[in-house]
Amino acid sequence: MMLLAAMILAAGLMSAFHIVYAADPDPLQEFCIADLAAGPVSNGFPCKLPALATTEDFAYSGLAKPADPSRVSTGGVGTLAFVKEWPALNTQGLSLLRLDINPGGIISPHTHNLATEILYVLEGEMYTGFVTNNFGNDPTISNKLYAKVVKKGEAFIFPRGLLHFQLNKGKVLASSLNVLNSQNPGIQLMPSALFGSGIDREMLEKSFFMNATQVAALKNFFEE
């Protein structure tokens, strides 16, 4: 009986670790430039014929210049170089993004459920960090914030799937180049996920101790 219980526990732990440490699968060929027109299949995109690949497929210039953060109400823009923008990432388990944030601007709290991320500050500085799980492996780090101002030339890592954010408390544009270990990291922005997705207002009122008017104002702002 004890042995059975131990085996079940071990199997459970192994599957838990398997999920925690899961990454994009290893490629089975040197490269697989995504054929985006074919649409995603069960795990990434089909490859275009290798003979049709060119040097330009492996180059990407979409992150060369800062975006204009004043075009969004948050004052912060993320420019993506995921597999849809850069098909050569298909099967390689990597992607990039660039953040450009005006003074006082933010990238709202968000998660990438499929990737760990490293941020490297190119210009300016950002207050950034992440929060651990409420119910993770270790109760001593429950719902714990790790955050600081990261300056030009410095880096910060956000563990896979955890909630994180950026705020430019500096006086000039802040920019970063971020590397993620998935071709398709997923992005879930908390404000719009909660207030822009049609969740019943009672759920939101009770979760955030807000009244109907306050919830309606936020739903109005985030719902399209």
Ligand X SMILES: *[C@@H]1O[C@H](CO)[C@@H](O)[C@H](O)[C@H]1NC(C)=O
Task: Quickly count: other Cβ atoms within 10 Å of residue 201's Cβ.
Answer: 15
Is residue 61 part of the contact set for ligand X (CB under 6 A)? no
Measured distance CA(126)–CA(80) in Å, rounded: 19
Measured distance CA(63)–CA(120) in Å, rounded: 14
CB-wise, 151 or 206, nearer to ligand X?
Answer: 206
Is residue 214 part of the contact set for ligand X (CB under 6 A)? yes
CB-wise, 42 or 213, nearer to ligand X?
Answer: 213
Least Å distance, CB 85 to ligand X, is 42
Please tell me whether 164 is known to bind a ligand: yes
Task: Quickly count: other Cβ atoms within 10 Å of residue 139's Cβ.
Answer: 8
Size of the site for ligand X (CB under 6 A): 3
Measured distance CA(171)–CA(156) in Å, rounded: 21
Least Å distance, CB 203 to ligand X, is 17
Least Å distance, CB 223 to ligand X, is 19
Is residue 143 part of the contact set for ligand X (CB under 6 A)? no
Please tell me whether 18 is known to bind a ligand: no
Measured distance CA(120)–CA(178) in Å, rounded: 6
Is residue 213 part of the contact set for ligand X (CB under 6 A)? yes
CB-wise, 61 or 213, nearer to ligand X?
Answer: 213
| Residue span binding ligand X (CB under 6 A) among the ranges 17-25, 40-48, 130-138, 210-218 | 210-218
| Residue span binding ligand X (CB under 6 A) among the ranges 46-54, 100-108, 120-128, 211-219 | 211-219
Measured distance CA(169)–CA(158) in Å, rounded: 19
Is residue 209 part of the contact set for ligand X (CB under 6 A)? no
Instruction: Give the residue among 63, 62, 97, 68 at the shortest CA–CA distance from 173.
Output: 68
Least Å distance, CB 101 to ligand X, is 29
Residue 44 DSSP SS3: strand
Measured distance CA(86)–CA(36) in Å, rounded: 10
